[in-house]
Amino acid sequence: MTHMVIVGAGIIGLASAEAAQCRGWKVTLVDRAFEGDRASHGNAGGIAVSECVPLSLAGMGLKPLKWLMDPLGPLSIRPGHALSLYPWFRALSKVAKPKNYARIGNALAALNNRSLFDFEAMLGRLGIIGDLHKRGALTVYETEEAFEEDQTNWTFKRERGVVFRNVSIDELRVLEPGLAPVFKRAVMIEQWAHIDDPKRIVDSLRSHVRNAGAEFITGEAASIVDQGTRVGVMLEGGRFVDGDRVLVSTGAWSARLSQTVGDNALLESERGYNTTLPNCATRLNREVIFSERMFVATPLAIGLRIGGAAEFAGLTAPANYGRSATLLKLAHRYLPNLDVSEAQQWMGNRPTTPDSLPVIGASPRNDRILYAFGHGHLGFTQAATTAELIGDLLDRKRPEVDMTPYSIARFNRG
């Protein structure tokens, strides 16, 4: 039986393990702490099929500067981390070039357009399909000006297969009576869905692959090593875990391992914050995206989750939970009389590339070494599709999706 070693047991690694097992592969998973917290646990819970607009600060005028000057604004860079961000932001500046912007949007849409189908199929195999709710999502606007400014993005999305419609204010009040009456415009994204609890999906995947025979090895990965007939991961302490293929899926830490192969990746931790309110789970019927304020609220089974913001501070800086408190303060404006008792704050490291595209596919140096990381805000959305693409590569099958845009080799092309 062919054997795959997967480094990283977040949702990407676990979904890839499940896909490999479905194809008859033996799986060994390596992680520093299998029960520990990870980025997918704090996900807002949406299958964000519409998010094909690349991250870019071009055309935003002074907004980014104003955000940076506000210590609790939607974008923050810790001063001690600023210098190391230069290569990442230099690459980000190239995204706005029209040919790059369209190409990246197409590549994101190629993943997102099949993401709900693949995710639903995965939940069916796990026996928890009831955790998925297809109610769409609403983007709401406080001003006509903000709505008009966003029309370019909506056109960009429509051109890439996103289905949406404008919603009247009267309909908005019927759909979401818990919202304060401060909005002038709303858009319903028809294909969007949300789940009951991201952590439950991760826990279910972990149990499923364990019950299917996966071996779990606790340890800190030091390097990826090719020993000729076998390839695998060397752990701190000297233990070598080998197989026929190895997959690197350690989220924001993945670039450190790819460098041991000789593959460079521009990857940053874009830290996200949220607060979950256990006593407010029924305040909304679907995920709501507050466009001007750049945060979301999702009615999970475990409570109303309010999240957003982007902080660049590296992997080791302590959390600034003032960001969670600020988001909650904003939420009070739009969702009056929130019950904040038992509120649970969270921070996680989103693995983010400057071109908004994940790294999926084989190392150009060694096709027995595979990568699946860098999904940014869309790790949860794209997990099942990424796993299917990895499964195709294990089968030596040409994926239906062109894999070129996701190759790690793009970071060496300048």
Query: How far is CA 281 from its chain centroid?
Result: 22
Question: Could you tell me if residue 225 is inside a domain?
Answer: yes
Question: Could you tell me if residue 167 is inside a domain?
Answer: yes
Q: What is the DSSP letter of 334?
A: H
- The long-range contacts involving 149-155, CB below 8 angstroms and separated by at least 24 positions, are 150/291, 153/53, 154/187
Question: Could you tell me if residue 110 is inside a domain?
Answer: no
CATH of the domain at 214: 3.50.50.60
Question: Could you tell me if residue 246 is inside a domain?
Answer: yes
Question: Could you tell me if residue 125 is inside a domain?
Answer: no
pLDDT at 186 over 90: yes
Question: Is the sign of the CA dihedral 72, 88, 234, 384 positive or negative?
Answer: positive
- pLDDT class for 57, splitting at 50, 70, 90? low
Question: Could you tell me if residue 123 is inside a domain?
Answer: no
Residue 311, beta-bridge partner list = 76, 271
Domain co-membership, 257 together with 362: yes
Choosing from 305, 323, 350, the residue where a domain stops is 350
Question: Could you tell me if residue 360 is inside a domain?
Answer: yes
The answer to whether the beta carbons of residues 327 and 308 sit under 8 Å apart is yes
Domain co-membership, 259 together with 226: yes
Choosing from 305, 327, 350, the residue where a domain stops is 350
- pLDDT class for 56, splitting at 50, 70, 90? confident
Cα–Cα distance for residue pair 298/279, rounded to 1 Å:
13
Integer Rg of the chain from CA = 21
Domain co-membership, 138 together with 252: no
- pLDDT class for 412, splitting at 50, 70, 90? confident
Domain co-membership, 78 together with 68: yes
Res 299: pLDDT: 98
Residue matched to tokens 């051109």? 159
Domain co-membership, 216 together with 334: no
Domain co-membership, 64 together with 139: yes
CATH of the domain at 186: 3.30.9.10
The answer to whether the beta carbons of residues 376 and 352 sit under 8 Å apart is yes
Q: Whole domain around residue 18: which residue ranges?
A: 3-40+200-265+356-412
Domain co-membership, 214 together with 343: no
pLDDT tens, position by position, 245-292: 999 999 999 999 999 999 999 999 999 999 999 999 999 999 999 999
The answer to whether the beta carbons of residues 318 and 65 sit under 8 Å apart is no
Domain co-membership, 395 together with 380: yes
Res 65: pLDDT: 64
Q: How many domains does the chain have?
A: 2
Choosing from 350, 385, 403, the residue where a domain stops is 350
Domain co-membership, 83 together with 149: yes
pLDDT tens, position by position, 13-44: 999 999 999 999 999 999 999 988 787 888 89
pLDDT at 414 over 90: no
Domain co-membership, 341 together with 244: no
Domain co-membership, 344 together with 287: yes
Domain co-membership, 159 together with 60: yes
Lowest mean pLDDT among 67-76, 243-252, 299-308: 67-76
pLDDT tens, position by position, 198-251: 999 999 999 999 999 999 999 999 999 998 888 999 999 999 999 999 999 999
